[in-house]
Amino acid sequence: MAILVDEDTKVLIQGITGSFGGRHAQLSLDYGTQVVAGVTPGKGGQKFADTVPIYDTVDEAVAETGATVSAIFVPPPFAGDAILEAVDAGVDLAVAITEGIPVIDMMRVRAAMEGSKTRLIGPNCPGIVTPGTGEDSHGGCRIGIAPGYIHKRGKIGVVSRSGTLTYEAVWQLTALGLGQSTCVGIGGDPINGTSHLDVLKMFNDDPETEGIVMIGEIGGTAEEEAAAWAADNCDKPIAAFIAGATAPPGRRMGHAGAIISGGKGTASAKKAALREAGIEVAETPAEMGSAMVKAMG
Amino acid sequence: MNIHEYQAKELFEKFGVPTPKGQVASSADEAKSIAGEIGGDLLVVKAQVHAGGRGKGTFKNGFEGGVHLVKSTDEAAEVAGKMIGETLVTHQTGDEGKLVNKVMVADAVDIEKEYYLAILMDRENRCPVIVASTEGGVNIEDVAEKTPKLIHRELIHPLIGIQPFEIRKLASKLGFSGDTAKQFGKLLRSLYKLFIECDCSMVEINPLVTTPDGQVLALDAKFNFDDNALFRHPDIEALHDPSEEDPREVEAAKYDLNYIGLDGNIACLVNGAGLAMSTMDIIKHYGGEPANFLDVGGGATQEQVRNAFKIILSDPNVKAILVNIFGGIMDCDVIAKGIVAACGEVDLNIPLVVRLEGNNVEAGKETLANSDVDLIRGDDLADAAEKAVKAIAA
């Protein structure tokens, strides 16, 4: 089951011939993910790693291979266009890994996507992993840049705005033997495609997911919105961690969206809202796994 | 990225947002000739630094105030001479103050009433929002707290942009009518165009003023640009003034490192922004104070790690270093080799705690063990943070 993607999901990669996109396309293939196509304008007809056909357009790649998910590794100046191309081709899911897309571009992309069937994850995110059942979770669906081997097929859903912090949580859940149903990196930008709340709802409806780890950080109010919904609607235990308690106001902490502005988006306000909703909040990033165990009782 | 007031004024002029007559000067002589060109019997001389609170600031040479009204060209030259090349301390600069390289000399207009006008990116609604108030010239956050009714917000559609009815609504709420409303409308349309075309994340006019002779003018401006969009605005990037920033942050940017200096004494070096923030948090949790935020990124090289060490050690407050690496795809051995190389170059005489986890971690630990670097090994994140805090207490 899991959410969004599973071992049968057919994935195409926009920007497969770039060094970053190519490296991670190979790692996904090695993980056992069905990477069925690549797209790089002007390189149609070539092959990636001698096996994966490359097309000039997403439209063509979808028509020829039946891919339903696109992973986007296109550089920032062209990424907005790449996302809209995936939407136009009618993929179910577009996962934008690219970091550094101008905010105004994302504002327009989100508005232009209204009413389409495509869900956008990211940008500026590590992607999605539904672990497989093989050794080191091999055989799963890895879309993006996360290290596959740290996962273990299991029962915890993970949703996060950060990359390495997600890996840290995944590592802890694997070490505790809980494993993961699906891990979703929603990205560190101020305007993104899918929120904490969207993913919480999906995990709540997923029979394989028994508990949820939600990782947030300073900036915006997405964690508060998710908590308000969860208080009355979520049937599953949730553990959370919020990064940035020591971050100075007004400074962007690496992620474009991680900024306390006008006194809004502080870690303490988020933690209070989460606790208010009955969510188990980990005091430190070292306790994300144990907080999940505690929440599950 | 922020810019100076005189640069903001130049952008306003380019886009047709009216401002009082004025120009920037780099010397007392220049200030005098600009004052002569502007004419009039009352001018204002303003120190150009990014920090707020200039008017109430004090120069280190004892001269009071970074904003002065002057009545003659000689007086303009005299005041400019006392500011240029001197260091201004305001409540926002910290005790070290900011060096003033330039002053703005401008017409001191008669003010009838002050207003507030800003455009910023509203992340919850994913569109620009115009914020306007009849309460200008004061701290807008105080207005929002005490009299929220006096703050008007208008969300702008991300694809169709600002519409005439939205301008009429705002003009009406600010009490503008007739020619003043027309001028306000023209100003707001120009400001919106500037906001979008220059990829601003915020542009704020405080105060916007009306004058007794019926003009609507932007008297001051504060800009914030979207750093992600600077690649398509080389002209705006050229306005960047590194002397306004922490030199360590400027140095870090050269090596693609994301560094923010803080007041504590435990430096940290981490891969990934979320993990870097969390590492600061866990230091605090165990009773320490983080000296910095430092994200070396997902694909750090040995060279970057070496430079990162140099930058964190240039902070004299640093009494211990905590390295926290979760190598997902990144090779832990690359980090380990970077640490060894860095320690070979700098005279490390403070405790170094290293926590490595993830890809190729065994090789990384071996590289560290086989080197002559004196370090404390952290078994996991909590253990490492605790050891770093204890290393200072000892």
Domain shared by A226 and A284, yes or no: yes
For residue A165, give how far its alpha carbon lies from the nearest alpha carbon of chain B (Å). 5
Using 70 as the pLDDT threshold, list the residues of chain B that sit under it.
394
Is A34 within the bounds of a domain?
yes
Q: Do the Cβ atoms of B262 and A101 come within 8 Å?
A: no
H/E stretch holding A99 reads none
Condensed to tens digits (0 to 9), the pLDDT of residues A102-161 reads 999 999 999 999 999 999 999 999 999 999 999 999 999 999 999 999 999 999 999 999
The question of whether B204 is a catalytic residue gets the answer: yes
What CA–CA distance (Å, rounded) separates A213 from A156? 7
Does residue A219 sit in the same domain as residue A262? yes
CA distances from B351 to A4, A141, A290, B56, B291 (A): 46, 42, 29, 43, 14
Q: Mutate which of B326, B356, B362, B381 to test chain A, going by most A C-beta atoms within 10 A?
A: B326
Q: Which residues of chain B have a CB within 8 Å of the CB of A245?
A: 281, 284
C-alpha–C-alpha distance, residues A230 and B163, integer Å: 38
Are residue A109 and residue A53 in the same domain, yes or no? yes
Name the minimum distance, in Å, from the CA of B129 to any CA of chain A: 12
What confidence score (pLDDT) does residue A224 get?
Answer: 94
A64 and A103 part of one domain:
yes
Cβ of residue B231 closer than 8 Å to a chain A Cβ: yes
In A, residues 103-132, which contact B (CB 8 Å cutoff)?
A: 103-108, 110-112
CB contact under 8 A, A150 and B328: yes
Q: B210 CB near a chain A CB, below 8 Å?
A: no
Residue A229 within any structural domain of the chain: yes
Domain match, A73 and A185 both: no
Do A16 and A89 sit in the same domain of this protein?
A: yes
Q: What is the pLDDT of residue B365?
A: 92
- How many residue contacts between A and B have a Cβ separation below 8 Å? 166
* 3 state SS for chain B: CCCCHHHHHHHHHHHCCCCCCEEEECCHHHHHHHHHHHCCCCEEEEECCCCCCCCCCEECCCCECCEEEECCHHHHHHHHHHHCCCEEECCCCCCCCEECCCEEEEECCCCCEEEEEEEEEECCCCEEEEEEECCCCCCHHHHHHHCHHHEEEEECCCCCCCCHHHHHHHHHHCCCCHHHHHHHHHHHHHHHHHHHHCCEEEEEEEEEEECCCCCEEECCCEEEECHHHHHHCHHHHCCCCHHHCCHHHHHHHHCCCEEEECCCCEEEEECCHHHHHHHHHHHHHCCCCECEEEECCCCCCHHHHHHHHHHHHCCCCCCEEEEEEEECCCCHHHHHHHHHHHHHHCCCCCCEEEEEEECCHHHHHHHHHHCCCCCEECCCHHHHHHHHHHHHHC
The distance from CA A109 to its chain's CA centroid, rounded to whole angstroms, is: 18
CATH of the domain at A27: 3.40.50.720
Query: Chain B residues with CB inside 8 Å of A285's CB?
Result: 275, 278-279, 281-282, 381
Domain boundary among A121, A139, A168: A121
B273 contacts A254? CB cut-off 8 A = yes
Structural domains of chain A, count? 2
| A18 inside domain | yes
Q: Give yes or no: residues A175 and A287 share one domain.
A: yes
Report residue A95: phi and psi, to 5°.
Answer: -115, 110
Residues A232 and A116 in one domain: no
The token pair that represents B33 in the structure block: 């000739």
Among A98, A121, A144, give the residue marking a domain's end: A121
Contact (CB<8Å) B227/A76: no
Structure confidence at residue A235 (pLDDT): 94
Could you give the CA distance from residue B249 to residue A249 in angstroms, rounded to a whole number? 17
Note whether A104 contacts B282, CB cutoff 8 Å.
no
Q: Are residues A174 and A72 in the same domain?
A: no
Same-domain status, A251 and A193? yes
- Note whether residue A68 is domain-resident: yes
For A159-182, the pLDDT digits (tens) are: 999 988 999 999 999 999 999 999
Query: Residue A31: what pLDDT?
Result: 96
Return the CATH number at A248: 3.40.50.261
Q: Does the beta-carbon distance from A111 to B158 stay under 8 Å?
A: yes
Query: Cβ distance A69 to A95 under 8 Å?
Result: yes
- Determine contact, residues A153/A209, Cβ cutoff 8 Å: no
Residues A158 and A274 grouped into a single domain: yes
CA nearest neighbour of B186 among B213, B211, B212, B168: B168
Q: Touching check for B39 and chain A: CB below 8 Å?
A: no
Residues 85-144 on B with a CB inside 8 Å of A are 121, 123-124, 126-128, 141
β-strands A52-55, A47-48: how paired?
antiparallel
The pLDDT, as a whole number, for residue A98 is 95
B-chain CB neighbours of A262 within 8 Å are 141
Query: In terms of domains, do A167 and A253 share one?
Result: yes
Predicted local confidence at residue B394, as pLDDT: 64
| A179 domain residue, yes or no | yes
Q: Kindly report the nearest CA distance between residue A163 and chain B, in angstroms.
A: 7
**pLDDT top residue among A261 and A178:** A178
Q: Which domain holds residue A224?
A: 152-295
DSSP A246: T
- Verify whether the Cβ–Cβ distance B121 to A101 is below 8 Å: no
Nearest to A243 among B228, B278, B290 (CB): B278
**Final residue belonging to a domain, choices A121, A143, A173:** A121
Label residue A1 by pLDDT band (50, 70, 90).
Answer: low
A16 falls within a domain? yes
The pTM (predicted TM-score) of the whole model is: 0.93
Active site (annotated) includes residue B115: no
Task: Look at residue A126 and tell me if it is in a domain.
Answer: no
Cβ-defined contact of A287 to B382 (cutoff 8 Å): yes
Asked if the model's pLDDT at residue A99 lies above 80, the reply is yes
Domain presence at residue A201:
yes
Residues of A marked as catalytic: 255
Q: Does the beta-carbon distance from B326 to A168 stay under 8 Å?
A: yes
Contacts of residue A138, defined as CB under 8 A and 6 or more positions apart, other chains included, come to A31, A32, A132, A148
